[in-house]
Amino acid sequence: MNPLRRMKWRRKVLAIAVAALLIMAVMRALSDKPEIALVIDEPWEAMRLRSSAAIDPDFPGYSWFSTPKSDARLHFIDDQLGFLTPLARFFTVSFDRNGLVRSLRMSPQIEPLLLDVPQRSAIS
């Protein structure tokens, strides 16, 4: 008899969920564009776990900052103002004494962003 037929439906759903999580983890690890995904005022470790770019842990009891180990994109998570940037070379994320994300700084991106600037017609 087929082993899948003998499995109960709850175990099937659990196996599918575990397989999906493993696939997502592998895809994230193999991503060629590492990203820092953060929410201001969230715990530092939550930001590190959600991000695919490698970044050092915080220093408990100190206000400081850290930089990703490579070029990274910023994924700012917010219901109204969330966005994703292209890769940036200089990127710092600061934390406070309680280990909460407080601010970030970025350089211009590696590839310049084009701005939609209205063209003025020449006045004769």
Tally of residues, the chain: 124
Stretch 66-77: mean pLDDT: 88
Spatial contact of 44 and 64, defined as CB atoms under 8 Å apart = no
Checking if the pLDDT of 121 tops 60, the result is: no
Stretch 30-53: mean pLDDT: 87
**Residue 48 to residue 18: CA distance in whole angstroms:** 22
**Residue 27 to residue 33: CA distance in whole angstroms:** 11
Stretch 7-34: mean pLDDT: 77
53 exposed, middle or buried (CB, 10 Å; 0-12, 13-18, 19+)? buried
Count other Cβ atoms within 10 Å, centred on residue 106: 16
Q: What is the pLDDT of residue 27?
A: 66
SS3 at position 94: strand
pTM recorded for the entire structure: 0.60
Spatial contact of 99 and 48, defined as CB atoms under 8 Å apart = no
